[in-house]
Amino acid sequence: MMEDLFASQTDNPTPLRLGEGVMLLPGYARQLADDLLGDIDLLTVTAPFRHMLTPGGQAMSVAMSNCGELGWISDRRGYRYSPIDPHSGLPWPAMPAHWRDLAATAAQLAGFAGFNSNACLINRYAPACRMGLHQDRDERDFNHPIVTVSLGLPARFLLGGMTRSGPTSKIPLLHGDVIVWGGVDRLRFHGIAPLAEGLHPRAGAYRLSLTFRRA
Ligand code: MD3
Ligand code: FE
C-alpha cells in the first residue's frame, strides 16, 4: 500500500513551486536513476571526469564532463561552450535520447513546453566539494529553462537572488530529484554547499548532477 503511494508519487510527483519559475519534481528520476548512473559510467570512458581550471587558474573541486552537441568548459581563457572536449580533442559523446526526453518531459511538467536541450553538464561531487554562488549565463537565450537531475549523496542547494549578496535559501536535493529553473528565476545566483560525507548504495561516495541546457 505504502509502496504504491510512493510509486505513484515518483511516476507523477506533485511539482513543488520554489519560486515563480522554479519547480521541484521530487523523485521524478528515481526509477531511471540506475540507468542514468550506468550511462554516466559509459559516457565518461570517452569523456573522463576532470577538474577544470577557473579563469583565475584554480582547479574546481567538482569534477565535470559533458554530453551533447556542446559541452560547458572552463579554463584560463574563460567559461564557454565547445563542441570539442579539450581533453580528448574529440566531440563530446552524444546525449542519450532518453536523457533528452527526461529533461523535456520534466520541463513540460513545470510549464516549459518544447525544451530541446543540446548540452548536458555532468557534475561529480565528492565529500567537501562545493560550488560557489554563480549565475548560469553562458547560454545564448535565457528564455530556455535549465533542468537538473540529482543522483547519489544528498546536497544542500543554495538559492539566492539576482545579486551575489543577499540571503540564500537552502533546499535539500535528494537522489532522483529534478528541478526546473526558468522564467524570472533563470538568472538567480545559486550554488551547492560543501557535500557531507556519506555512502550512497548506488553512487558510492559521490553526488552526481546532470544539468540540461539549450546552449
Ligand atoms: C538555479 N549545478 O552546473 S543545479 C551548474 O547541482 C550548477 O550541480 C548545481 O549550478 C549542481 O551550473 C546546481 C543547476 C542550476 C542551474 C541553473 C540555475 C540551478 C539554477 C539557474 C537559476 C537558479
Ligand atoms: Fe549553475
Read off the pLDDT of residues 77-133 as tens digits, 9 standing for 90 and up.
Answer: 999 999 999 999 999 999 999 999 999 999 999 999 999 999 999 999 999 999 999
**Is this prediction's pTM over 0.85?**
yes
Q: State pLDDT tens for residues 134-162.
A: 999 999 999 999 999 999 999 999 999 99
d(CA 29, CA 120): 15
Contact status, residue 125 vs residue 207, Cβ threshold 8 Å? yes
d(CA 131, CA 60): 8
pLDDT at 8: 42
pLDDT, mean of residues 187-200: 97
d(CA 22, CA 83): 29
**Ligand 1 atom closest to Cα of residue 121:** 3
Choose one of 159, 209, 210 to mutate for the ligand 1 pocket test, by most ligand atoms within 8 angstroms of C-beta. 209
User: Which run of H or E residues covers position 9?
Assistant: helix 2-11
pLDDT at 15: 87
Kindly report the protein residue whose alpha carbon is nearest to atom 4 of ligand 1. 148
Grid cell 548532477 in the structure block, residue: 209
d(CA 14, CA 8): 10
Instruction: Using CB atoms within 10 Å of the CB of residue 154, give its burial: 0 to 12 exposed, 13 to 18 middle, 19+ buried.
Output: middle
Report the interhelical angle of 33-46 vs 97-109 (nearest 10°).
130
Question: Which residues neighbour 101 within 8 Å (Cβ) at sequence distance 6 or greater?
Answer: none
Question: Which of 106, 128, 121 is closest to 193 using CA atoms?
Answer: 128
Residue 12 confidence (pLDDT) above 90: no
Q: State pLDDT tens for residues 34-63.
A: 999 999 999 999 999 999 999 999 999 999
pLDDT, mean of residues 186-191: 96
Residue 178 confidence (pLDDT) above 70: yes
Write out residues with Cβ below 6 Å of ligand 1.
121, 123, 131, 136, 146, 148, 181, 185-186, 188, 190, 192, 209, 211
Distance 191 CA to ligand 1 centre (A): 7
Output phi, psi for 103, to 5 deg.
-65, -40
Instruction: Using CB atoms within 10 Å of the CB of residue 54, give its burial: 0 to 12 exposed, 13 to 18 middle, 19+ buried.
Output: middle
Among the bound ligands, name the one nearest to the CA of residue 209.
1
pLDDT, mean of residues 183-203: 97
- C-alpha cell at position 146: 535549465
Among the bound ligands, name the one nearest to the CA of residue 212.
1
